[in-house]
Chains A and B, each alone.
Chain A
């Protein structure tokens, strides 16, 4: 009886282990340790910086367009 139980225990352990291995490797440990959020923040900051940069360029061009328009009015 004891032998059968030990055998069953081993079989179940092997099955459960192989079931875990069947899942393709993903960055789960990275996420559980938490630090993926650092990368997400860095990427978000880079994106925000680029968008702010684009907005300043946009506004600069708007200013130049206004200047050009007023200059044209002055010298018809």
Chain B
């Protein structure tokens, strides 16, 4: 493996290894109800950071496709959305499990929770839209425009609305986030590498999907001109 080109994959591995080790044995503030589940900050929260990063890459490449019409940009947009949705689903599942043991229920009609679920549905619709258009160029352009709206709606549903309404979720609706507990910044020392590590892992998986799709394209139509650069 070329180190100059793939240094960020090594960084991702080191960050994640540090997260898993220090995330379990590092010191955390003792709080009622939360107890040790405060460590979910290192695993549940970075899933959403990873999802947002990948969906942001998706919308950026969607806009790039609209500007230059390159099919490769559409390919990256598609695979980023795919990896992003996968991370979002993991975030939903881990959040639901955590809610069972802190709030006492798998799911509750909360602004943040429903917002996250609606975001997933919006991005499922993105793939339905892609699947329903036969023409390649039309599919790429339509889904790029759709993904701009989808990204904005995601921001509204999981970042803005839960902060305006009442929400049970930590950090929203007047509830303290971890920053209020983490007075000596010990958790930050794990949280930031965790976020970086999980984001890079998501991007890594996305580039692998892009490369596989590029190979498939080359196999099916040898005239596929875009050279793989990832």
B25 touching A44, Cβ below 8 Å: no
A58 to B21, CA, bound (A): 25
Size bin of chain B's contact surface:
20 to 34
B24 touching A40, Cβ below 8 Å: yes
Tell me, yes or no, whether B36 is within 8 Å of chain A by CB. Answer: yes
Tell me, yes or no, whether A19 is within 8 Å of chain B by CB. Answer: no
Size bin of chain A's contact surface:
20 to 34
Tell me which of B6, B24, B30, B228 contacts A36 (CB under 8 A).
B24
Complex interface residues of chain B between 27 and 85 (CB less than 8 A to chain A): 28, 30-32, 34-36
Stretch at the interface among B98-106, B171-179, B207-215: B207-215
Q: For the complex formed, measure the closest distance between the CB of B12 and the CB atoms of chain A, giving whole angstroms.
A: 8
Q: For the complex formed, measure the closest distance between the CB of A30 and the CB atoms of chain B, giving whole angstroms.
A: 9
B20 touching A39, Cβ below 8 Å: no
- B36: chain A residues at CB < 8 Å are 26-27
Tell me which of A24, A26, A47 contacts B16 (CB under 8 A).
A47
Give the B-binding residues of A (Cβ under 8 A). 23-27, 31, 36-37, 39-40, 43-44, 47-48, 51, 54-55, 57-59, 61-62, 64-65, 68, 72, 75
Known contacts A26-B30, A27-B35; 11 additional CB pairs below 8 A are A23-B30, A24-B31, A24-B32, A25-B35, A26-B35, A37-B25, A54-B204, A57-B208, A61-B212, A61-B215, A64-B215
